[in-house]
Amino acid sequence: MKVGIPKEVIDGERRVAATPDTTRRLIEKLGFEVLVERNAGAAASFPDAAYENAGAILCSDATEIWGNAEIVLKVRGPSEHELGQLRNGQTVVGFLAPAQNEDLLHRIAERGANALAIEAVPRISRAQKMDALSSMANIAGYRAVVEAAGLFGRFFTGQITAAGKVPPARVLVIGAGVAGLAAIGTARGLGAIVRAFDVRPEVADQVKSMGAEFLYLQFPSDENGGTSGGYAKTMSKEFIDAEMALFADQARDVDIIITTALIPGKPAPTLITTSMVESMRHGSVVVDLAAEQGGNCEVTVPGKVIQHEGVHVVGYYDLPSRLAHTSSQLYGTNLFHLLDEMGGAEKFRIDMDDVVIRSATVVHQGQVTWPPPPVAVSAAAPAKPEEGQQKTPAIAKQRGVIDVVLTIAGIALLAMLVMTQDRGVLTDFTVFVLACIVGWQVIWNVTPALHTPLMSVTNAISGIIIVGGMVQAGTDHPVASVLGAIAIFVATINIAGGFLVTQRMLKMFRKLDG
């Protein structure tokens, strides 16, 4: 089975759907024959020679690709000319934007072809390796901060030098999805003070874990902005009014605003108004990652960088393409895993019973199959019980015969110890009981994250039994000597293994230099 990689025809698109590395994996691991159009990867710094070395067959033009390949991998959706070359039964994979391009889906269906929209892969654990939308959003978030840093007139990090003091940049990230979190991490890495807002309260912990401040909305409602698909949804007018008041207040204080808010299938919501931009200090920067869908900022010009009242407004919609080498590698890896999920060359099929493949398939055997059935993946907090709904009472543990017998045996043992009137035994027993109580309190108050290293070092310390084994191994009794040798062997493993596990676990809590 042949997989075709044509050169992208949309102006400014530098990415390619397969790199030499992913091409080699498609050939060696999945058994495909890969056809690559000449110069398909040139804009992403992948020369034709690298594809040849990976085992690909170079084609002089795209017509040869579309005419011979059963599967065509693209970054963007097919152009008008490419649609005319689609064959019956052929499968095309790429970013098709099915919610906005219904006409494109019908035209593909008219050709009797199949189409998979890679951005429609559901955000579930099993599909993470195929989630190209998250891969590109991650790069876009990183690149947004890089673009802002290039336009901003100061350091991101604060500095105190002999020449004076430079305050740190203040960055506001609106939307804490994949792109937003990537922007937060990059800005924090450069030393900025970062704040973030999202309509989904469940992401607050993720924001805080990256060292940023999460802005809570003072709104008398428990309205949640998350959907079952893990995305944001349209909010009520009252919520939006409170949200806009928060943004207006923040715009006067921050230096850089990065917006990432998108609602699937709808134009981007307007979050930063013209008056907010005008209230920002001269030299400030707004980076609008939703520019391609209309933009989150009123003054955004898609595809361009403008200045409005001294504020730079970045409207690039090709940020992943501006990091074409890395974007192509990640995207190519996502497509490799998708084709692997579909059976590889030998067992390739579009399995409509597979939730991942079903969600991504927008045209199947000449029929439009968009939209797919919903897939619940949200990490939102569980719904509160309805009023009047009674909680299921917990079943009390019943005391069994074994518990009674153990209790009586314990009481009898204590009585026997007291009746011995042996001062040494009573002293040792008292120390034992106190040690149990102290040990329990010490272990109970240790942070749960440290339980594993604590237990491993405890095992290592308990390896003191090796001393007893050495004593017994030196006796004249053969049985005692053998048992002592076995004790030494086991205790040695316990000591070495305990400290080894401890070291590995503690490394997880250390920050690497650099």
**Annotated catalytic residue 123:** yes
In this structure, the number of other CB atoms found within 10 A of the CB of residue 514 comes to 3
**CB-based burial, 11-31: b 16+ in 10 Å, e otherwise:** eebbbbbbbbbbbbbbbeebe
Which helix H or strand E contains 260, and what residues bound it? Answer: none
Catalytic residue among 48, 100, 231, 378: 231
What secondary structure letter does DSSP report for 59?
Answer: E
What secondary structure letter does DSSP report for 272?
Answer: B
Interstrand relation of 71-76 and 170-174 (parallel, antiparallel or unpaired): unpaired
Angstrom distance (rounded) from CA 246 to CA 273: 12
Catalytic residue among 15, 123, 170, 200: 123
In this structure, the number of other CB atoms found within 10 A of the CB of residue 368 comes to 15
In this structure, the number of other CB atoms found within 10 A of the CB of residue 224 comes to 16
CA 504 vs CA 165, 419, 456: distances in Å = 41, 50, 11
**Type of residue numbered 507:** K
* Among candidate residues 97, 94, 132, 100, the one with its CA nearest the CA of residue 114: 94
Burial class (CB in 10 A: 0-12, 13-18, 19+), 57: middle
Cα dihedral 55→57→58→63 (10° resolution): -150
**Annotated catalytic residue 316:** no
Angstrom distance (rounded) from CA 288 to CA 277: 12
**Annotated catalytic residue 367:** no
Tokens 């084609």 sit at which residue? 59
CB distance 147 to 323 below 8 Å = no
Radius of gyration in angstroms for the set of CA atoms belonging to the chain, rounded to a whole number: 32
Angstrom distance (rounded) from CA 158 to CA 192: 8
Paired tokens of 114 = 């199949």
Catalytic residue among 134, 293, 321, 329: 134
Tokens 């305050």 sit at which residue? 167
**Annotated catalytic residue 103:** no
In this structure, the number of other CB atoms found within 10 A of the CB of residue 493 comes to 10
Catalytic residue among 45, 128, 221, 275: 128
Give the three-class secondary structure for 30: coil
Catalytic residue among 131, 255, 288, 318: 131
**Annotated catalytic residue 231:** yes
CA 369 vs CA 16, 74, 157, 356: distances in Å = 27, 20, 50, 14
Angstrom distance (rounded) from CA 262 to CA 284: 23
Angstrom distance (rounded) from CA 484 to CA 488: 6
Residues with a catalytic annotation lie at 123, 128, 131, 134, 231
